Every structure is written in C-alpha cells, then in structure tokens.
Amino acid sequence: EDRVLLITGASSGIGRVTARRAAEAGFKVILTARRKELLDELVEELGSDKALSVSADVSDYKSLEQAVVKGVDKFGKLDAVFANAGTGLNKAGTEQGDPEEWKAMIDVNVNGLLYTARLTLPHLRQTTGHFLMTGSAAGRNTIKGSVYGASKWFVHGFSQNLAEEMKEWNGRCTTIAPGMVNTPFFDEPKPDKLDPEDVADAVLYALNAHPRSCVREVYLMPAYKN
C-alpha cells in the first residue's frame, strides 16, 4: 500500500523538489503552502491520483487544520509529514532588527511547526508514522545576532523532545539540518551551494530507513569552499 506524505512549504525550493522525489518513489503527496497556483502546477505534473494541493498558511491554525482534514479525506491516512515551511534570514542582528519581522518569522518557523505537529500527530500515531522537519545549520551553529538562527535552534530543541514523545508509540522523528541551499529563499542564486535535490536525498533516506531505524538528524553542508 502506498504511503501518504504531507509536506508544508511544497510550493518552492526544498519542499517542491522533495514532493516530486517522494511521488516518484511511490508516496501519495499532500502539498500545502499559501501559493495555490504553484501547488496546482505540481499536481498537474504528478497526477491527481498521486498528489493533492491544499493552500494553507502554517501560522494560521484553522487554515492548516482544514488542509490536514482535506488531505486525510482524500488519501485516508497520514504515514509521514515533512514540516518544511520556513521563512526569513534576518541578517540585521538583534540590535537593528525589526520586532514585527521577528514576530512574523517566529509565527511561521516556530508556531507553524508546532501547529503542524499538533494537527498531524494524532494521524501519525494511527500508522506508526514519521515526522520530519527542516531545521538548519543555523540551528546548530551560532550566527551573530541572527533571530532566524534562534528560530531554527527551537526546531532542533523541539525535535529532541518530540522524538521522546513519539517513541511511546514507536513513531520516528527526524530533523534535516542543511547549510545553504540554492532556492528562492535567497534573492540571488547560490549555484555552488547545496541543491534542493541533495536535501530531498536526505529526506528520502530517512523515510526509507527500516522501521526499526530512526534517522534522528541529517546535517548536510556544502562541500565546496566558496
């Protein structure tokens, strides 16, 4: 039976490429993000028997709840979730940063992750499922004054605690921690950094590990110096 994977932030970058790769590997995919037209394009490419697009803002609990309900209605279950939506590389530092920008970013990177977990874990428990999330090298190292980095430290901390919680029912929890990836996250292309395909490789590796084996974290850095 095909496994069902829900992905947040599936309209672009890492989420989009991972969705395509997972569908090729036989997963049914539920694609969520705010930009519905981009999700619809991907569903057209993958086939509506394999993919569903549902627009949702992860920082809006109700909108995400509706997306999860629609996805489970269509495919009947959830085997895995990739909580990948994220925003904002705040380079201004703490002293010059804009508190409103921080609030919006934390709403996505922190609250959006918690909402995704809260809404999907009851389904994952039914299938002894797998929860994956996109952390960051910025959540493993210190970056001077970066509030973005701090939001990703939250992801890694939450992941540790969630893994313990999920162990009670043999669920698996994985954090993917990439360095710089060439995606629309940046205004300028970064062709010498990681490719989203590299991150998708890591996600698929964790998803396809034997059920007795939990890939807790994949820390992925660009190999080239510059």
Which residues are identified as catalytic? 148
Residue of 146, 143, 152, 125 whose CA lies nearest to 217? 152
Half-sphere exposure at residue 114, Cβ-oriented, CA atoms within 13 angstroms: 11
200 is a site residue for ligand NJP (CB under 6 A)? no
Q: Please, which of residues 29-88 interact with ligand NJP by CB under 6 A?
A: 33-35, 57-59, 84-87
Choose between 137 and 207: whose C-beta lies nearer to ligand NJP: 137
Choose between 85 and 132: whose C-beta lies nearer to ligand NJP: 85
CA distances from 118 to 64, 69, 81, 105, 111 (A): 10, 13, 12, 19, 10
146 is a site residue for ligand NJP (CB under 6 A)? no
Residues 134/181, Cβ–Cβ less than 8 Å: no
Cβ-closest position to ligand NJP: 86
DSSP 3-state of 113: helix
Residues 96/136, Cβ–Cβ less than 8 Å: no
184 is a site residue for ligand NJP (CB under 6 A)? yes
Q: Which of 9, 71, 129, 149 binds ligand NJP (CB under 6 A)?
A: 9
Residues 133/218, Cβ–Cβ less than 8 Å: no
- Please report how close the Cβ of residue 203 comes to ligand NJP at its closest, in angstroms: 11
Q: Which of 136, 146, 159, 174 binds ligand NJP (CB under 6 A)?
A: 136
State the residues that interact with ligand NJP by CB under 6 A.
Answer: 8-15, 33-35, 57-59, 84-87, 108, 134, 136-138, 178, 180-181, 183-185
